[in-house]
Amino acid sequence: MATTSDVRKGSAIEIGGKVYFIVEYQHVKPGKGNAFVRMRLKNIETGQVIDTTLKSGSGVNVVRVEKRQVQYLYSDEEYSYFMDVQSYDQYQISNKTIETEKKFLLENSELIGLFADGKFVGIELPFFVILKIIETEPGVKGNTVQGGTKPAVVETGAKINVPLFVNKGDKIKVDTRTGEYVERA
């Protein structure tokens, strides 16, 4: 059994028979009293996010997470479908589970699939993706790089604030961790 000092953000742990990903991890050592660990956990199956606090050094069950290359195929109203690029096995996952990642998914894009105990439980996006703008206000001559921003909708449906000089049809580089515009591609 591992302790709270053995896990970090991105680790998977088991609490009460349910498997959770650690979304946020903070070790707190107050001036008075014992140290503790504050964590925000995301349920692998339901996507529910909970906050928990454990004593520093408490025992936790670490779940081994395997990473494999997968290809995003398509989504319907309930599920998103992926294919293992090595074995061609297909997997489905609830759209609720990958709600934040889904806004950066393009069909046929390759990414990392996360498997806990042999079960497909999530995806890991690349840090940056290139997306085409399908809707935004037109740029005006004279707008500069350091001006303001305007809302834009990209081909996946995500809304992103972009500089004033970016136009409909332009391709932009987006940071998937923050959902922010990086540069024109």
Give per-residue pLDDT as tens, 97-149: 888 888 899 989 999 998 877 888 888 888 899 999 999 888 666 655 566 78
Instruction: Tell me, yes or no, whether 75 and 112 share the same domain.
Output: yes
Of 20, 37, 63, the last residue of a domain is 63
CATH code, domain carrying 23: 2.30.30.30
pLDDT of residue 172: 92
| pLDDT for 154 beyond 70 | yes
Q: What is the model's pTM?
A: 0.73
* Token code pair at residue 106: 């393009």
Instruction: Tell me, yes or no, whether 139 and 172 share the same domain.
Output: yes
Of 24, 44, 63, the last residue of a domain is 63
Give per-residue pLDDT as tens, 47-89: 788 899 888 888 888 888 888 999 999 999 999 999 999 999 9
Cα Rg for the chain, rounded, in angstroms? Answer: 20
Q: pLDDT-derived band of residue 153, with 50, 70 and 90 as boundaries?
A: very high
Instruction: Tell me, yes or no, whether 110 and 132 share the same domain.
Output: no
Instruction: Tell me, yes or no, whether 137 and 171 share the same domain.
Output: yes
Instruction: Tell me, yes or no, whether 88 and 136 share the same domain.
Output: no
Q: What order of strands is seen across the sheet that includes strand 171-175?
A: 159-163, 149-154, 128-136, 171-175, 180-184
Instruction: Tell me, yes or no, whether 70 and 118 share the same domain.
Output: yes
Of 87, 109, 124, the last residue of a domain is 124
Domain count, the chain: 3
Q: Are 111 and 91 in contact (CB under 8 A)?
A: no
Burial of 80 (0-12, 13-18, 19+ CB in 10 A): buried
CATH code, domain carrying 118: 2.40.50.140
Instruction: Tell me, yes or no, whether 177 and 145 share the same domain.
Output: yes
Range of the domain at 94: 65-124
Question: Mean pLDDT across the chain, nearest whole number?
Answer: 86
Instruction: Tell me, yes or no, whether 100 and 141 share the same domain.
Output: no
